[in-house]
């Protein structure tokens, strides 16, 4: 392979990793809804960082590697941190940990290390003035966070006044105890509400409630683990070590980290991390690793800070937790798109904060690939620390009672024959009136990411269908209190609450509505892009494939899915019924124009009056695409001062080169 082709493949891989990390980082840090495990994210991050260091010509100022963390949501006031809340560099093996301690010892001789559990929660800063708690904020991106003061006041372990009138800032980790998490989920399950994914996400979501009363009900807790700045002593003394600051913070009334140790060598560091790992299951809260820090504050100063992380500390991350259990049976669930999904019925086992008794097996190909048989002992873990999955079977533990699984030839819900497409692994029921499809499609329509109809869980949907009050989601908007209150387990108040929630969902906007329609290959991100591009449902219904592929990250398959959905008369009639019911079919986002439709821009150098991010937004709002690299498909390169290799490549390819003023002229024409 020639060098030019190799470099192009490296560039494409870097861009792919940046896109994935940006998306998954937003799901984790902004929306508290991760789709992959921390371990998978960390592996992608490590790969990207290594590639960028080896190929500096592909540097990007918006790469995830130059960021500290996520960005704050708009629903709280923004707070600029007086003391930057940096993240830590991660290590994933004891070999990497040894590299860290070797570096420290080469610089410092024989330093002392503080080793402590890494709490799996949400990092916050607490600000005190003259001993009084005055403000609390989430970490956000490390520079700017969210003001959650009133919610933090509901956390009983946070002192509202200190034992001495000091002015200082500390950092802590808010978490939800496992016992609280399990109780809340039991209550939610009993009332038909969606279960919380894990204690970490439950804590993050609870702390971001606009109503502090809701936060108070969640019984959050906190460990304070760092002194950020200010004064710890009235007489002006300066603490000498991290251990001393924690002892002092405890004296002032803070709940500080448990199970910490101060040690003097790599062997002792490793030993204490192993000890923390062994107690992981017995702790009343979740941890995902251990933090190793230089204890002496003066020695920290000598080691210094990196660009985004301190050089004097690392976070050792535990690998994903795995447990062994028995796969007792395999049952079939029919999804909203008609796909028959095998689901493992497991002997209940506690895993990553919850008790697991079910796990998806995806499809028959997956089952055969894993070599899974009914009755097998299997290894289980959680993808994204959320979704249980079977990692592998243990054939050496078979006793002859195990049996092969076969997919049914008829739908278990409606009895119609099922089909498998030649180009996909899924087995599908194509009966549009299949009760399972109707049920799942209504559940999806009402789900949090879609129309967000509170209280309309699976049990209520099934109750409404069984009593012939609804046959699809559009029927929800014709429900009357008098009809609903007669149902089992309902009543006047419950019926009023449900119909009010359905009425409120009318204003959800086009972004949520498009996702709620359940179009194949259209998730929340793609739905938002469609809403921004077309502005109204009426316009989207007449979209053409050649238009759709011009939307960023839309390919032929995604575009075809949209066109095919709206080409079905029944789907168009369904949309018309929603409109007639008064559902808002307009986008809440600023409309995207088509002035730059089909054009791809690359920005390079420093622009005279705006940042490249600002210029990118203007291009996107005009319907154009912004790419991080120059190719023969690039329409224009917008070059500013100190433009580098991108400008050179554009010149060699004959790509049109413009400046900021020309870009603004094109936008105004």
Q: What is the per-residue DSSP string for 486-515?
A: TSTT--HHHHHHHHHHHHHGGGS-HHHHHH
Q: Residue 357: name the closest of 334, 333, 390, 332 by CA.
A: 390
The partner residues of 89 in beta bridges, in order of sequence, read 314
Mean per-residue pLDDT, 132-141? 89
pLDDT in tens, 186-241: 888 777 677 777 888 888 888 888 778 888 888 899 999 999 999 999 888 889 99
On the question of pLDDT at 314 being above 70, the answer is: yes
Q: What is the pTM of this model?
A: 0.57
d(CA 317, CA 91): 6
SS3 242: helix
| Residue 203 in tokens | 């804590």
Q: Is 118 a catalytic residue?
A: yes
The secondary structure element, H or E, covering residue 226 is: strand 221-230
On the question of pLDDT at 307 being above 80, the answer is: no
d(CA 496, CA 481): 6
User: Does domain 435-507 fall into CATH 1.10.10.10?
Assistant: no
Greatest mean pLDDT among 334-338, 392-396, 600-604 lies in: 392-396
Q: What is the mean pLDDT of the chain?
A: 86
d(CA 108, CA 111): 6
- For the chain, the first-to-last Cα distance in angstroms comes to 46
The secondary structure element, H or E, covering residue 626 is: strand 625-627
Q: What is the pLDDT of residue 66?
A: 57
Residue 164: count other Cβ atoms within 10 Å of its Cβ.
15
On the question of pLDDT at 640 being above 90, the answer is: no
Q: What is the pLDDT of residue 665?
A: 84
Confidence of residue 30 (pLDDT cuts 50, 70, 90): very low
d(CA 430, CA 641): 58
d(CA 190, CA 210): 25
Q: What is the pLDDT of residue 74?
A: 53
CA angle 165, 166, 171 (to 5 degrees): 130
Distances from the Cα of 32 to the Cαs of 11, 18, 65, 75, in angstroms? Answer: 30, 19, 20, 14
pLDDT in tens, 516-569: 998 888 888 788 889 888 889 999 999 998 888 888 778 888 888 898 888 878
Handedness of CA 407, 408, 412, 418 (dihedral sign): positive
SS3 663: helix
Contact 258, 225 (CB under 8 A): no
Q: Which residues contact 576 (CB under 8 A, 6 or more apart)?
A: none
The partner residues of 122 in beta bridges, in order of sequence, read 174
| Residue 81 in tokens | 């941190």
The secondary structure element, H or E, covering residue 227 is: strand 221-230
On the question of pLDDT at 61 being above 70, the answer is: no
Share of the chain above pLDDT 90, in %: 36
| Residue 287 in tokens | 């941890």
d(CA 656, CA 635): 7
Q: Which residues contact 250 (CB under 8 A, 6 or more apart)?
A: 256
| Residue 46 in tokens | 């490590």
Q: What is the pLDDT of residue 245?
A: 95
Integer-rounded Cα radius of gyration of the chain: 28
Q: Residue 204: name the closest of 194, 215, 191 by CA.
A: 215
Q: Residue 333: name the closest of 434, 460, 262, 466 by CA.
A: 434
Handedness of CA 239, 240, 246, 251 (dihedral sign): negative
Q: What number does CATH give the domain 600-668?
A: 3.40.50.10190
Q: What is the pLDDT of residue 70?
A: 41
Q: Residue 253: name the closest of 189, 327, 172, 320 by CA.
A: 172
Phi-psi region of 418 (alpha: psi -120 to 50; beta: other; left: phi over 0): beta
Q: What is the pLDDT of residue 630?
A: 86
Say which residue, 43 or 424, is predicted with more confidence.
43
Looking at 287-421, which runs of residues are DSSP E strands? 287-294, 313-317, 323-334, 340-351, 354-360, 377-383, 387-393, 419-420
Tell how many helices (H) and how many strands (E) occur in the chain: 24, 22
On the question of pLDDT at 91 being above 50, the answer is: yes
Q: Residue 370: name the closest of 349, 344, 399, 347 by CA.
A: 344
Q: What number does CATH give the domain 80-317?
A: 3.30.470.30
Bridge-based pairing of strands 89-91 and 427-428 is unpaired
Domain 510-580 adopts which CATH fold? DNA polymerase; domain 1 (1.10.150)
- DSSP-derived secondary structure letter, 427: E
CATH architecture of the domain with residue range 323-428: Beta Barrel (2.40)
Mean per-residue pLDDT, 370-386? 85
Q: Which residues contact 282 (CB under 8 A, 6 or more apart)?
A: none
Domains 3-66 and 510-580 share a fold: no
| Residue 240 in tokens | 């000498």
Residue 14: count other Cβ atoms within 10 Å of its Cβ.
21
Confidence of residue 151 (pLDDT cuts 50, 70, 90): confident
Q: What is the pLDDT of residue 226?
A: 95
Phi, psi of 137 (to 5 degrees): -145, 150
What are the sequence ranges of the domains in the chain?
Answer: 3-66, 80-317, 323-428, 435-507, 510-580, 600-668
SS3 248: helix
Say which residue, 340 or 5, is predicted with more confidence.
340
Q: What is the pLDDT of residue 648?
A: 81
Distances from the Cα of 198 to the Cαs of 25, 138, 349, in angstroms? Answer: 17, 19, 15
Q: What is the pLDDT of residue 421?
A: 67
Q: What is the pLDDT of residue 271?
A: 96
C-alpha 187, offset from chain centre: 25
Contact 276, 258 (CB under 8 A): no
pLDDT in tens, 251-282: 898 999 999 999 999 999 999 999 999 898 88
Question: Among residues 5, 7, 71, 118, which one is catalytic?
Answer: 118
d(CA 211, CA 190): 23
Say which residue, 345 or 426, is predicted with more confidence.
345
Exposed, middle or buried by CB within 10 Å (0-12, 13-18, 19+), for 480? exposed
Contact 410, 340 (CB under 8 A): no
Q: What is the pLDDT of residue 78?
A: 87
The partner residues of 387 in beta bridges, in order of sequence, read 383
Exposed, middle or buried by CB within 10 Å (0-12, 13-18, 19+), for 180? buried
User: Does domain 3-66 fall into CATH 1.10.287.610?
Assistant: yes
Share of the chain above pLDDT 70, in %: 93
pLDDT in tens, 432-486: 678 888 888 899 999 888 999 988 888 899 889 889 899 889 999 999 999 898 8
Q: Tokens 């986008």 label which residue?
A: 587
Q: What is the pLDDT of residue 422?
A: 65
Contact 291, 313 (CB under 8 A): yes
d(CA 223, CA 285): 11
Confidence of residue 591 (pLDDT cuts 50, 70, 90): low
Confidence of residue 430 (pLDDT cuts 50, 70, 90): low
Contact 447, 437 (CB under 8 A): no
Confidence of residue 69 (pLDDT cuts 50, 70, 90): very low
On the question of pLDDT at 657 being above 80, the answer is: yes
């Amino acid at each position: 392979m020639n060098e030019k082709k190799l470099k192009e493949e490296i560039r494409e891989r870097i861009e792919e990793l940046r896109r994935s990390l940006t998306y998954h980082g937003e799901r984790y840090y902004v929306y508290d809804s991760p789709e992959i495990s921390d371990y998978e994210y960390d592996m992608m991050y490590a790969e990207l960082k290594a590639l960028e260091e080896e190929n500096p010509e592909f540097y990007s100022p918006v790469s995830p590697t130059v960021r500290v963390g996520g960005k704050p949501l708009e629903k709280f006031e923004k707070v600029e941190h007086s003391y930057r809340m940096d993240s830590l560099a991660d290590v994933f093996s004891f070999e990497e940990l040894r590299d860290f301690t070797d570096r420290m010892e080469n610089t410092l001789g024989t330093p002392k290390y503080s080793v402590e559990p890494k709490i799996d929660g949400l990092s916050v800063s607490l600000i005190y003035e003259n001993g009084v708690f005055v403000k609390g904020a989430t970490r956000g991106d490390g520079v700017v966070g969210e003001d959650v003061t009133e919610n933090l006041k509901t956390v009983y372990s946070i002192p509202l006044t200190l034992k001495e009138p000091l002015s200082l800032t500390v950092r802590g980790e808010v978490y939800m105890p496992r016992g609280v998490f399990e109780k809340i989920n039991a209550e939610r399950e009993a009332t038909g509400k969606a279960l919380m994914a894990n204690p970490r996400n439950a804590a993050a979501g609870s702390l971001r409630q606009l109503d502090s009363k809701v936060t108070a009900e969640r019984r959050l807790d906190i460990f304070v683990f760092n002194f950020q700045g200010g004064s710890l002593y009235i007489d002006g003394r300066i603490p000498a070590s991290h251990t001393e600051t924690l002892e002092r913070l405890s004296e002032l009334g803070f709940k500080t980290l448990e199970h910490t140790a101060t040690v003097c060598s790599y062997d002792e560091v490793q030993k204490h991390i192993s000890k923390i790992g062994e107690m992981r299951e017995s702790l009343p809260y979740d941890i995902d690793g251990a933090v190793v820090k230089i204890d002496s504050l003066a020695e920290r100063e000598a080691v210094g800070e990196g660009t985004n992380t301190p050089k004097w500390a690392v976070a050792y991350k535990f690998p994903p937790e795995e447990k062994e259990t028995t796969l007792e049976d395999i049952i079939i669930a029919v999804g909203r798109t008609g796909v028959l999904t095998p689901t493992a019925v497991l002997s209940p086992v506690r895993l990553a904060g919850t008790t697991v008794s079910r796990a998806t097996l995806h499809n028959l190909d997956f089952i055969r690939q894993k070599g899974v048989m009914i009755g097998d002992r299997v290894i289980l873990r959680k993808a994204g620390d959320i979704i249980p999955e079977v990692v592998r079977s243990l054939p050496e533990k078979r006793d002859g009672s195990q049996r092969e699984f076969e997919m049914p030839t008829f739908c278990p819900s409606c009895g119609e024959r099922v089909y498998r497409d030649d180009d996909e692994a899924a087995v599908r029921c194509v009966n549009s009136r299949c009760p399972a499809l109707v049920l799942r499609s209504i559940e999806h329509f009402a789900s949090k990411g879609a129309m967000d109809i509170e209280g309309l869980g699976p049990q209520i949907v099934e109750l409404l269908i069984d009593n012939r009050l609804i046959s699809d989601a559009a029927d929800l908007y014709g429900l009357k209190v008098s009809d609903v209150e007669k149902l089992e387990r309902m009543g006047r108040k419950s019926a009023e609450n449900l119909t009010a929630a359905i009425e409120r969902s009318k204003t959800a906007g086009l972004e949520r509505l498009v996702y709620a329609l359940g179009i194949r290959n259209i998730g929340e991100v793609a739905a938002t892009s469609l809403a921004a591009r077309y502005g109204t449902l009426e316009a989207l219904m007449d979209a053409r494939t050649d238009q759709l592929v011009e939307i960023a990250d839309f390919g032929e398959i995604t575009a075809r899915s949209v066109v095919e959905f709206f080409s079905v008369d029944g789907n168009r009639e369904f949309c018309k019924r929603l409109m007639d019911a008064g559902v808002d079919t307009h986008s809440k986002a600023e409309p995207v124009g088509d002035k730059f439709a089909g054009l791809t821009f690359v920005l390079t150098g420093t622009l005279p009056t705006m940042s490249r991010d600002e210029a990118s937004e203007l291009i996107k709002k005009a319907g154009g695409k912004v790419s991080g690299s120059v190719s023969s498909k690039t329409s224009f390169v917008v070059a500013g001062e100190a433009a580098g290799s991108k400008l050179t490549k554009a010149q060699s390819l004959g790509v049109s080169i413009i400046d900021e003023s020309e870009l603004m002229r094109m936008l105004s024409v």
